[in-house]
Structure 1
Amino acid sequence: MTKSYKSIQPLDRVAIALMLVLCLLIGFMIWQGDAVKPIVRNFNWENQQIGAEDTAFTLTFSRPMDTKSVEDNLKIDPPLAGKISWAGRRMVYTLLTPAPYGTNYKVMLQGARDKFSQTQGKNRLIQAFTGSFSTRNRALLYIGANQEEQGKLVIYNLTQEQKKVLTPKDLIVMDFEPFPEGDKILFSARSSKNPDLLSAQLYTVTTGIVSKVGEQPEPAGKLDLILDNKDYQNLKFDLSPDGETIVVQRGKRDNPGDFGLWHLSATRDSSGEKPTPKRLESQPGGDFLITPDSKAVAVAQGQGTAILSLQGDTTKPLDFLPQFGLVQAFSKDGSQAAMVKFNTDYTRDLFLVTNQGVQKQLLKTTGSILGCNFDPASPTLYCLLTQLVSQEQYIEQPYLVAINLKTQEQKPLLMLPPAQRNVKMSLAPDGLAILLDQVVPVGNTTAPLPTNTLKTDNGEPIATSSLWLMPLLPIADQANLEIKPEQLPLVGFHPHWLP
């Protein structure tokens, strides 16, 4: 016999030893049975910062679970109402209302059982799990009205009580809309040296905010010119809910009768070039609002409202509602709209119009309908209205009302001082508060005004303005509880919640 058959090589000894150990381990596991504890393998909101658009979290388990034991032992602190559904080893918890902003949450699970443990006469309990997530800080935007912040776009973090000016002093901000992630703001502004309200250009500016934990934010105040005013005047604009598209009402500088709607990308292309606006080939219209799916725009045309596609043929409307002259608001899912009907007797009706063809009158007013917002958490519509208090002088008094869309019950929430039509409202993304402004006009309008004088949408000079926060509760909880607005320590107007 040769030498190679007489001895075993060291590598062979190691391999044989490993095989013996593995055989012993396998035998031990077979003898012991399946006793591995189930675990939570994935929690998709772990260490994330969520917003109102985030409506459900998932827990993925290592093995099939006894669903009732999971549902009975799942705890969220602070509590968040929701409903549970299952898809194999994945549990989905869908929130009934948006999670309140500015809050840290824990998701805890212990005591839940494996699906097969009971039938096998065992009690395999899940390994205790704790996950955490948070909601975005409560933050608002406004246009400053004091000497230091005059005409500048300001962001104020209510949660952290921090304020930051976003735009430079040589620009007077006229209007703005935040992007859905809150990382940028689209705004129109004129030069502080030019009093012409029709000289606005469109810009974006960064806020310094990130929605995902661990991401590096862009520095706040980074400015980018999106649309200039060389050939056209930029009148009004709207940003699509997905933050991808801008619709602008524009008029030709050398031909005032040539005006219409244009659309363009909200960001520069991959080569860094500014987006090119394209005209919507349709008849001129008035006020407009992009639909919640970001694919169409509702435009007041003639005596009605046309729905125009932003992706296909715009010469023929997708739909036309002849009896409604204005869309005040869409619900988040696009299934409902608050629309205004202008009557021949100078009254206005507010209607709820659904995508199923239902048209329900909510109220009639002799004054104006200044703005409406759908509550994301309940079937409630909040509206800022005015009532006529002097027919001779035509003095209107604004007030805030909550309308239950199921019962059509109206509950006045707040009465504002008379003769103040330039009021703006903004409903918080979690539905728990409304922002309002109270503009004080310039008293002496005969004296010449500086070029950087702030003005309302209708050109009225602004002396100063205060901001107010109105806490909200569901209508059912407000029956015997008087809620009063709180004046914020900020001087500005046109308040808007950050998403």
Structure 2
Amino acid sequence: MTRLLWILLTSAVAIVVGQQQLMLRRPPRLIQHRPQPIHSGSAALDLSFSRPMERKSVRLTSRLLPPLNHRWLGETNPLRLVVDPDTPITTPLELQISGEDQRGQLLPPRQLWWEPRPWLLVNRIVEGGEQLQLLDRSEQWRPISPVWEGIQSLVPLGDGEGIAMVTRTNEGQERIWLQRLITSSVAKQQNGLLAPRAKEPQPLLDKDLLFAHLSSNLVGDLLVQTGGFTPGSERIELIRSDGSRRDLDILASGPLRLLPAGGGVVVPAYDGLALQPLVDTGQPAQMLPGSRELGAFCAASGRAVLIRHWPDYRRSIELVIPGLAPQELLLGEQAVLAVACNGSGKRVWAVLGRWQGDKGEHEIVLLDGDGNILKRKPLTPWTLKSGTPMQFDPVSHQLLVTLTHPAMNDGRVGLLNAETLDLNQVHPIAVQEAQWLMAG
């Protein structure tokens, strides 16, 4: 019995050693690829391998077509490809990946196609109500939701994997829905890069609401802030990207906003803005006093742009840098209707408005991180549709706005060059709102 046991143990050890030697002789493999939403460039892709890689070898032997300036970041595994933001991306990218692992084994060359450009998403006015539609690469509008009586608000998930929306009935009742999407922004063949496809919308709450506010971060979490028709029915719930849900005990005087990288939330209070973590650490919330509202996040740098309201009815635009007091970029009597910034916070765009009687005139202004006005242009004959955002796309270097003018009641989709502020295109379809949907 002892001899048999010894033979079995020896055989098991030999099999394990043999498997290890076989694994060591096998070449490394690319096992996962995923777009990275938080980055310092115009686009980023995370690549995971079966073995720790030599970054220098991967950098020297891999190819990106078109040959845009790019960087490889990381130590060994995973590695991150970051495309520098100096040139707009106008086509899908072809990536040829090669290189050696730390044992000198060569990664068999792999070809990937990558579509980092976001999708243009609109709440379109159609027969019977309103519908979410998406513009594909052939310039065709694709429906991705049912037709609702009305869509009160929409929030694309920050990872591009879905869209949350608040619908309303003609009686004023509101419901919240989550429209999950099937995405394919990275594929082995170019024809595998498909527009997002919609799954069946799922209700997030099974009751009618008096109000609902939504917010998402870049990792795909969703914050749902609701109130019902009875006192004390207010509720704040965090739905994580993995589907888990939990209630949050937060007292706020207005809509909450999740931090882009996750882990925290901006809370409006009666005496300012508070920044507090989603998990209670026992530390007091960071407070920024004054009548301020959050305008935009500059995700790659942790900076944010605020709009401050002064007692004499002036408005100012402020840049908030972590650990420093807010830096005033612009102060004036014009209304600040919307703001946007690039990832570093060194470029800030603002739509300013002035009214004479019932006539409004809007202009767009480009500022640097020190408050210098680099360029300004009137939007005439257009104006920014009330209550809609302005969003910057670092991939195409464009600003997305929803425009209108006195001759129409609905909106139009406007795309502006982020450097020249020229209006590149106005889509003729009638919409309530336009937003970017990140490539997932």
Instruction: Give the TM-score category using the shorter length.
Output: 0.7 to 0.9
* In structure 2, C-alpha distance between the alignment counterparts of 1:289 and 1:228, rounded to whole Å: 23
Counterpart pick for 2:273 among 302, 305, 309: 305
Alignment partner, residue 169 of structure 1: 147
* In structure 2, C-alpha distance between the alignment counterparts of 1:417 and 1:263, rounded to whole Å: 42
* In structure 2, C-alpha distance between the alignment counterparts of 1:220 and 1:56, rounded to whole Å: 24
| CA-CA distance at 1:349 after TM superposition | 0.9
- Give the root-mean-square deviation of aligned CA atoms: 4.2
Cα gap change, 1:340 to 1:181, in 2 (>3 Å): closer
Alignment partner, residue 239 of structure 2: 265
Alignment partner, residue 198 of structure 2: 220
State the AA in 2 paired with 1:470: L
TM-score (norm: length of structure 1): 0.67
Alignment partner, residue 178 of structure 2: 204
* In structure 1, C-alpha distance between the alignment counterparts of 2:143 and 2:285, rounded to whole Å: 42
Contact 1:241–1:292 (8 Å) recurs in 2: yes
Alignment partner, residue 245 of structure 1: 222
* In structure 1, C-alpha distance between the alignment counterparts of 2:280 and 2:410, rounded to whole Å: 45
* In structure 2, C-alpha distance between the alignment counterparts of 1:168 and 1:310, rounded to whole Å: 33
Alignment partner, residue 374 of structure 1: 341
Cα gap change, 1:64 to 1:244, in 2 (>3 Å): closer
Structure 2, unmatched stretches of 5+, are: 1-25
Q: Is it true that 1:280 corresponds to 2:260 in the alignment?
A: no
Residue-by-residue CA offset, 1:463-488 (whole Å, 9 max, x unaligned):
33221222334xxxx4xxx7333112
SS in 2 for 1:384: strand
Q: Is it true that 1:399 corresponds to 2:363 in the alignment?
A: yes
* In structure 2, C-alpha distance between the alignment counterparts of 1:87 and 1:268, rounded to whole Å: 28
Larger radius of gyration: 1
* In structure 1, C-alpha distance between the alignment counterparts of 2:308 and 2:373, rounded to whole Å: 20
Alignment partner, residue 403 of structure 2: 438
* In structure 2, C-alpha distance between the alignment counterparts of 1:383 and 1:259, rounded to whole Å: 37
Contact 1:396–1:421 (8 Å) recurs in 2: no
Alignment partner, residue 233 of structure 1: 210
TM-score (norm: length of structure 2): 0.75
Contact 1:260–1:285 (8 Å) recurs in 2: no
Identity in percent? 15
Q: Is it true that 1:80 corresponds to 2:68 in the alignment?
A: yes
State the AA in 2 paired with 1:210: S
Alignment partner, residue 428 of structure 1: 393
Alignment partner, residue 10 of structure 1: none
Q: Is it true that 1:497 corresponds to 2:439 in the alignment?
A: no
Contact 1:51–1:136 (8 Å) recurs in 2: no
Alignment partner, residue 373 of structure 2: 409
* In structure 1, C-alpha distance between the alignment counterparts of 2:62 and 2:302, rounded to whole Å: 33
Structure 1, unmatched stretches of 5+, are: 1-38, 116-123, 444-461
Residue-by-residue CA offset, 1:59-117 (whole Å, 9 max, x unaligned):
979999895x87666542212323356747997654333983641323377xx9999xx
* In structure 2, C-alpha distance between the alignment counterparts of 1:355 and 1:495, rounded to whole Å: 30
Contact 2:62–2:95 (8 Å) recurs in 1: no
| CA-CA distance at 1:179 after TM superposition | 1.8
RCO comparison, higher one (Cα < 8 Å, 6+): 2
Counterparts of 1:60-71 in structure 2 under 5 Å?
67=56
| CA-CA distance at 1:496 after TM superposition | 0.5
* In structure 2, C-alpha distance between the alignment counterparts of 1:220 and 1:52, rounded to whole Å: 21
Q: Is it true that 1:342 corresponds to 2:326 in the alignment?
A: no
Contact 2:154–2:164 (8 Å) recurs in 1: yes
* In structure 2, C-alpha distance between the alignment counterparts of 1:267 and 1:62, rounded to whole Å: 28
Alignment partner, residue 94 of structure 2: 105
Counterpart pick for 1:134 among 91, 105, 114: 114
| CA-CA distance at 1:266 after TM superposition | 5.4
State the AA in 2 paired with 1:385: L
- Greater strand proportion: 2
Cα gap change, 1:469 to 1:408, in 2 (>3 Å): same
Contact 2:45–2:80 (8 Å) recurs in 1: yes
Residue-by-residue CA offset, 1:29-83 (whole Å, 9 max, x unaligned):
xxxxxxxxxx9844577xx67465463556979999895x876665422123233
Alignment partner, residue 422 of structure 2: 483
